[in-house]
């Protein structure tokens, strides 16, 4: 016998830790409960009502994201009744938004509503009529598109800004169909406490908040691919996914399972990546000739570098050669450089840029 | 950092000093902001009303360069009030008696006379940190970029040793490293005093081991720092230099001296991704492939070893640095540079480092190992100093630190303090952020001036000002803001066309030779 409590999830006894919600437990099992206002980093909100389940003995279906599991509960996650309820909700939400292609470039969670529309065959026609949310086309910032026509008032953006960033830069005004996500005094984002960290963009389930820099690549035909890496800026070492289409780096996304950042980024990590494929990049080696730098082959430039170092050592002693390692390049750069100095000249004449 | 980043959400008293964390380490800052939301007390010591200070429970707005006085005053209060952790001191430290005697001289009133923080606030801060269950210290270059940088760090260590706020969850001495792989640059042996993994070069056993590994007798003496090397170059004693991914001309203090030194070299080889101000002076410029084009390893501020991966092809003819440097070595007919991949290089590094020995390329891909990882199968070490300190006795030693004035102090000719730093949207010398749309937020350098000072000095918001020190002069725009205290102005060093580091560089810490970039007396003249 075990002390671990269990409840019945779709006929199967499942163990849980006291305090866990039905939804959290269901995530470890086969149950496929839909959500829209849920983000596992945030306090459960219970706003979208898509995660409703039936619990035996309860009069009405309950939101599984806010209902704490109790021993002996009998929970059914996909009865015809709750599925019909969910379909109606998705129909209602769909009817509120204009029909528009939501490109996956908009953000990490941008396909959540689209996916549910497909699952439930929801077109929005059944409740066609008034729409909610007004896009802020007047906000000229080149980073965050505020396409609130697509907003479903799940408040994930507002909550991530408050609970994860502790910035409280955005808020909700008005009620019902007039509900609008906004900043204090209904200003532009740059006039608010917004730091442009992009958290709201990446948690938005409809693409109402979108990565404007990424959308520059909307017309590229190649598939969108993700490569796990680490941000090149400060020493926090946030895990990121490098989003590429073919040979083009098109966006950066925070990694939800990154140990250092757990899904967070800042404005630099999120948006300051254009330097990689910038026209100013050095494209070929150069050597100085008659006072000017000119293009050279790798062979010529490498010979010139090796000869210059060797000549200094030969003519002025091995302590006339020095190297400065980078705090931005990977370990392999510094390791090879210090080995070149130590193995090549027998000195410890090496430093890195940490003193300035 | 002694503790992992996740511990930042666990202290009950946060003491952040000399760290503009929301600007320089924004994602780490979210964690202490969350800790504060959950009830932790946040104490911020900074000359400026930085965003973290604005949300702090207590802001200790000290004069620039007076950290030692503030921290001695706090140590005095902790000792006087009997908040010393006796059992920790007895078991884990040495020289506590002499230290506790030493701090009796430094009352909060004495500290106030130097650092300008009201004695009552020093008492409050000391009592809070001293009484905390889990007190955590965070610092950045506001502590280290002084002639007394080592004294500042040791003063913080003294506080942690007095109270035992080290080696447990939610505590620690936590320097926030400023660059993505500055920790890794030290780990990988890019230091004049250490081989890979911080193995001292002046230990004969290390010298013998690396001389054997690298096939050549290596000096048993430490090398010189970059600061000294640039001096030697200016004097004509240094003849050749390789600079890898650093825009030395703009980032280092005393730009004129730096340019003169680099121009004096017979051979300057620069490996970079852009034609920086430094590359412009080179004899050979070698194009490196950039982040997102290269495979490799970074280690972050919490000593977490993580892989970076190539997602797009290398630009033009650019190559990874390890390839470029190996090609130079092979042309010098050096053995041991037959690497075919970053993996080959990293695995060799691990084999020679005590703290990386249990890691290899594949394990680094899991991104879960904090060094030291002394053997294969070891889980890594997220939290340092849980049992002992890395000293011969295993104990932490109190240091009897005294306050020293900055290298230069304000006078009639240079009556204003300048302190420098970074801003959120830019990074260092803008080689990256200057080419990534960040000018939308910060298009030019500005000098932050207190409103009352602006009035007194005839400066207008948006107007221009000439700022000069003993070493140089720049002209820039004025931003009137109460982020700056009276008598102290601030700007970043990010803009090459506003070369603020022509002014800095009055002195260096005698041990680390780190420049006093945080303090520089200047004079200001409005441009009309």
We report the CATH number of the domain holding residue B422 as: 2.40.40.20
A276 with A291, same domain: the answer is no
B215 with B251, same domain: the answer is no
B368 with B298, same domain: the answer is yes
A135 with A200, same domain: the answer is yes
Count CB atoms within 10 A of the CB of residue B234.
18
Asked whether residue B204 is domain-assigned, the answer is yes
B249 with B337, same domain: the answer is no
What CATH number is associated with residue A118?
3.30.70.20
Beta-carbon contacts of residue A241 (< 8 Å; ≥ 6 apart): A226, A227, A228, A229, A252, A253, A254, A255
The whole-angstrom separation of Cα B132 and Cα B12 is: 6
B435 with B325, same domain: the answer is no
B193 with B163, same domain: the answer is no
A104 with A195, same domain: the answer is yes
Considering only alpha carbons, which residue of chain B is nearest residue A342? Answer: B218
Asked whether residue A84 is domain-assigned, the answer is no
Rounded average pLDDT over A146-168: 96
Asked if residues B245 and B322 have their Cβ atoms less than 8 Å apart, the reply is: no
**CB pair distance less than 8 Å for B227 and A264:** no
* Location of structure tokens 């092809």: B313
Asked whether residue B325 is domain-assigned, the answer is yes
Q: What is the pLDDT of residue B242?
A: 98
Asked whether residue A85 is domain-assigned, the answer is no
A177 with A117, same domain: the answer is yes
**CB pair distance less than 8 Å for B321 and A321:** no
What CATH number is associated with residue A50?
3.10.20.740
Asked whether residue B390 is domain-assigned, the answer is no
Of B180, B192, B304, the CB nearest to A233: B180
Q: What is the pLDDT of residue B506?
A: 85
Question: Which among A36, A65, A41 has a CA at the least distance from the CA of A53?
Answer: A65
With contacts defined as CB-CB under 8 Å, which chain A residues touch B254? Answer: none
With contacts defined as CB-CB under 8 Å, which chain B residues touch A259? Answer: 5-6, 304, 367-368
Domain that holds residue B112: 5-176
A101 with A174, same domain: the answer is yes
B188 with B42, same domain: the answer is no
B218 with B333, same domain: the answer is yes
State how far Cα B33 lies from the chain centre: 22
Q: What is the pLDDT of residue A2?
A: 60
Q: What angle do CA B261, B472, B406 make, to 5 degrees?
A: 90
Considering only alpha carbons, which residue of chain B is nearest residue A297? Answer: B317
What CATH number is associated with residue B298?
3.40.50.740
Question: Which among A322, A229, A308 has a CA at the least distance from the CA of B246?
Answer: A322
The whole-angstrom separation of Cα A308 and Cα B10 is: 53
B170 with B195, same domain: the answer is no
Number of domains in chain A: 4
Query: CA separation (Å) from B14 to B44, B111, B137, B143?
Result: 8, 21, 6, 16
**CB pair distance less than 8 Å for A166 and B368:** no
| Structure tokens belonging to residue B390 | 């890395």
A265 with A346, same domain: the answer is no
Model pTM?
0.95
Domain endpoint, select from A234, A250, A280: A280
- Smallest Cα distance from A281 to chain B, Å: 5
With contacts defined as CB-CB under 8 Å, which chain B residues touch A307? Answer: 331
Of B214, B292, B512, the CB nearest to A276: B292
Asked if residues B203 and B392 have their Cβ atoms less than 8 Å apart, the reply is: no
A230 with A203, same domain: the answer is no
Query: How many angstroms separate the first and last alpha carbons of chain B?
Result: 48
Asked whether residue A90 is domain-assigned, the answer is no
What CATH number is associated with residue B158?
3.40.228.10
A295 with A274, same domain: the answer is no
pLDDT tens by residue, A260-280: 999 999 999 999 999 999 999
With contacts defined as CB-CB under 8 Å, which chain A residues touch B290? Answer: 275-276, 281
Domain endpoint, select from B287, B320, B340: B287
A207 with A229, same domain: the answer is no
pLDDT tens by residue, A189-216: 999 999 999 999 999 999 999 999 999 9
The whole-angstrom separation of Cα A341 and Cα B10 is: 43
With contacts defined as CB-CB under 8 Å, which chain B residues touch A321? Answer: 238-241
Of A313, A327, A343, the CB nearest to B181: A327
Q: What is the pLDDT of residue B429?
A: 87
For residue A168, is pLDDT > 70? yes
Of A324, A330, A352, the CB nearest to B298: A330
Considering only alpha carbons, which residue of chain B is nearest residue A254? Answer: B27
Helices marked H in B252-389: 255-264, 321-331, 342-352, 361-364
With contacts defined as CB-CB under 8 Å, which chain B residues touch A244? Answer: 311-312
Asked whether residue A1 is domain-assigned, the answer is no
A134 with A243, same domain: the answer is no
Domain endpoint, select from A280, A304, A330: A280
Report the half-sphere exposure of B314 (CA within 13 A, side-chain side).
Answer: 17
Domain endpoint, select from B139, B159, B176: B176
Number of domains in chain B: 4
**CB pair distance less than 8 Å for A165 and B33:** yes
B79 with B16, same domain: the answer is yes
Considering only alpha carbons, which residue of chain B is nearest residue A290? Answer: B283
Domain that holds residue A127: 97-215
A293 with A261, same domain: the answer is no
What is the ipTM for the molecules in this complex? 0.95
Of A227, A271, A324, the CB nearest to B243: A324
Asked if residues B501 and B440 have their Cβ atoms less than 8 Å apart, the reply is: no
Asked whether residue B410 is domain-assigned, the answer is no
B481 with B471, same domain: the answer is yes
Asked whether residue A194 is domain-assigned, the answer is yes
For residue A1, is pLDDT > 60? no
The whole-angstrom separation of Cα B108 and Cα B78 is: 11
Give the range among A232-246, A299-313, B328-342, B421-435 with minimum mean pLDDT.
B421-435
**CB pair distance less than 8 Å for B219 and A348:** yes
Rounded average pLDDT over A79-92: 96
The whole-angstrom separation of Cα B108 and Cα B77 is: 7
Asked whether residue A88 is domain-assigned, the answer is no
With contacts defined as CB-CB under 8 Å, which chain B residues touch A343? Answer: 214-216, 329, 334, 336
Domain endpoint, select from B272, B287, B302: B287
Asked whether residue B381 is domain-assigned, the answer is no
B136 with B157, same domain: the answer is yes
Residue ranges in chain B whose pLDDT is less than 50: none
Q: What is the pLDDT of residue A3?
A: 79
Of B28, B190, B334, the CB nearest to A337: B190
State how far Cα B126 lies from the chain centre: 25
B313 with B458, same domain: the answer is no
- Smallest Cα distance from A44 to chain B, Å: 17
**CB pair distance less than 8 Å for B27 and A261:** yes
**CB pair distance less than 8 Å for A305 and B251:** no
| Structure tokens belonging to residue B10 | 């666990």
Asked whether residue A89 is domain-assigned, the answer is no
The whole-angstrom separation of Cα A216 and Cα A32 is: 34
Query: CA separation (Å) from A81 to A10, A32, A54, A61, A62?
Result: 14, 15, 9, 9, 12
Asked whether residue B519 is domain-assigned, the answer is yes
Of A229, A248, A336, the CB nearest to B345: A336
What CATH number is associated with residue A231?
2.20.25.90
Phi/psi for B402 (5° steps) reads: -120, 150
Considering only alpha carbons, which residue of chain B is nearest residue A323? Answer: B242
**CB pair distance less than 8 Å for A336 and B321:** yes
Count CB atoms within 10 A of the CB of residue A59.
6
A243 with A185, same domain: the answer is no
Report the half-sphere exposure of A111 (CA within 13 A, side-chain side).
Answer: 7
Q: What is the pLDDT of residue A356?
A: 65
Of A229, A311, A325, the CB nearest to B311: A229
Domain endpoint, select from A215, A233, A268: A215
């Amino acid at each position: 016998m075990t002390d671990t409590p269990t409840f019945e999830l779709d006929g199967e006894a499942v163990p849980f830790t006291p305090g866990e919600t039905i939804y959290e437990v269901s995530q470890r099992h086969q149950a496929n409960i839909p959500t829209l206002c849920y983000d596992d980093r945030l306090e459960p909100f219970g706003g979208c009502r898509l995660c409703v389940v039936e619990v035996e003995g309860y009069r009405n279906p309950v939101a599984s994201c806010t209902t704490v599991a109790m021993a002996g509960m009998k929970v059914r996650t996909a009865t015809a009744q709750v599925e019909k309820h969910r379909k109606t909700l998705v129909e209602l939400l769909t009817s509120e938004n204009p029909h528009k292609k939501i490109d996956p470039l908009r953000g990490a969670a941008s396909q959540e509503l689209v996916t549910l529309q497909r699952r439930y065959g929801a077109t929005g026609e059944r409740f066609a009529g008034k729409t909610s949310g007004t896009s802020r086309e007047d906000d000229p910032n080149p980073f965050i598109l505020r396409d609130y026509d697509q907003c479903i008032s799940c408040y994930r953006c507002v909550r991530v800004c408050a609970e994860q960033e502790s910035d409280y830069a955005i808020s909700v005004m008005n009620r019902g169909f007039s509900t609008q996500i906004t900043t204090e005094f209904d200003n532009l984002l740059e006039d608010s406490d917004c730091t442009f960290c992009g958290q709201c963009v990446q948690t938005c389930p409809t693409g109402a908040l979108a990565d404007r820099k990424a959308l520059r690549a909307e017309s590229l035909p190649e598939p969108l691919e993700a490569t796990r890496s680490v941000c090149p800026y400060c020493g926090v070492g946030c895990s990121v996914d490098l989003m590429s289409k073919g040979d083009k780096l098109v966006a950066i996304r925070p990694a939800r399972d990154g140990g250092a950042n757990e899904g967070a980024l800042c404005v630099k990590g999120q948006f300051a990546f254009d330097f990689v494929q910038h026209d100013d990049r050095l494209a070929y080696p150069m050597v100085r000739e008659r006072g000017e730098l000119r293009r050279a082959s790798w062979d010529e430039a490498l010979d010139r570098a090796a000869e210059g170092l060797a000549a200094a050592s030969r003519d002025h002693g091995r302590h006339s050669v020095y190297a400065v390692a980078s705090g931005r390049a990977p370990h392999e750069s510094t390791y090879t450089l210090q080995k070149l100095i130590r193995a090549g000249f027998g000195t410890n004449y090496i430093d890195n840029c940490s003193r300035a | 950092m002694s503790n992992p980043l996740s511990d930042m959400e666990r202290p009950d008293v946060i003491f952040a000093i000399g760290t503009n964390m929301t600007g320089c380490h924004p994602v780490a800052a979210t964690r202490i902001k969350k800790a504060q939301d959950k009830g932790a007390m946040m104490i911020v010591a900074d000359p400026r009303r930085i965003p973290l200070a604005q949300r702090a429970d207590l802001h200790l707005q000290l004069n620039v360069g007076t950290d030692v006085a503030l921290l001695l005053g706090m140590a005095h209060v902790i000792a006087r009030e009997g908040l010393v952790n006796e059992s920790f001191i007895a078991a884990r430290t040495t020289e506590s008696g002499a230290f506790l005697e030493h701090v009796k001289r430094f009352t909060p009133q004495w500290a106030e006379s130097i650092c300008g923080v009201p004695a009552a606030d020093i008492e409050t801060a000391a009592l809070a940190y001293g009484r905390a269950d889990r007190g955590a210290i965070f610092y950045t270059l506001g502590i280290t970029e002084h002639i007394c940088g080592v004294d500042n760090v040791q003063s913080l260590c003294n506080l942690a040793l007095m109270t035992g706020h080290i080696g447990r969850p939610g505590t620690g001495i936590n320097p926030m490293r400023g660059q993505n792989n500055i920790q890794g640059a030290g780990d990988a042996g890019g230091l004049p005093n250490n081989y890979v993994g911080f193995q001292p070069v002046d230990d004969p056993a290390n010298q013998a081991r690396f001389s054997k590994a690298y096939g050549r007798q290596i000096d048993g003496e430490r090398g010189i720092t970059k600061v000294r090397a640039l001096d030697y170059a200016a004097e004509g004693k240094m003849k050749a230099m390789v600079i890898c991914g650093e825009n030395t001309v703009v980032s280092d203090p005393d730009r004129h001296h730096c340019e003169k030194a680099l121009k004096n070299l017979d051979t300057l080889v620069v490996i970079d991704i852009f034609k920086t101000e430094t590359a412009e002076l080179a004899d050979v410029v070698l194009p490196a492939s950039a982040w997102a084009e290269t495979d490799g390893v970074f280690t972050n501020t919490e000593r977490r070893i993580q892989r970076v991966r190539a997602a797009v092809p290398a630009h033009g003819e650019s190559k990874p640095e390890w390839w470029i440097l190996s090609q130079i070595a092979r042309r010098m007919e050096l053995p041991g540079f037959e690497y075919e991949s970053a993996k080959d290089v990293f695995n060799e590094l691990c084999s020679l480092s005590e703290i990386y020995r249990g890691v290899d390329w594949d394990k680094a891909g899991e991104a879960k190992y904090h060094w030291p990882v002394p053997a294969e199968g070891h889980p890594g070490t997220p939290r340092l100093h849980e049992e002992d300190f890395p000293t011969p006795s295993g104990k932490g030693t109190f240091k009897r630190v005294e306050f020293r004035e900055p290298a230069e102090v304000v006078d009639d000719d240079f009556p204003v303090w300048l302190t420098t730093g970074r801003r959120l949207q830019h990074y260092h010398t803008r080689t990256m952020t200057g080419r990534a749309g960040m000018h939308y937020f910060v298009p030019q350098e500005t000098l932050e001036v207190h409103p009352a000072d602006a009035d007194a000095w005839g400066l207008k918001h948006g107007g221009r000002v000439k700022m000069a020190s003993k070493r140089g002069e720049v002209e820039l725009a004025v931003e009137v803001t109460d982020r700056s205290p009276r008598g102290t102005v601030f700007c970043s060093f990010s803009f090459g066309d506003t070369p603020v580091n022509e002014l800095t560089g009055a002195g260096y810490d005698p041990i680390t030779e780190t420049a006093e970039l945080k303090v520089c007396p200047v004079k200001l003249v409005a441009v009309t």
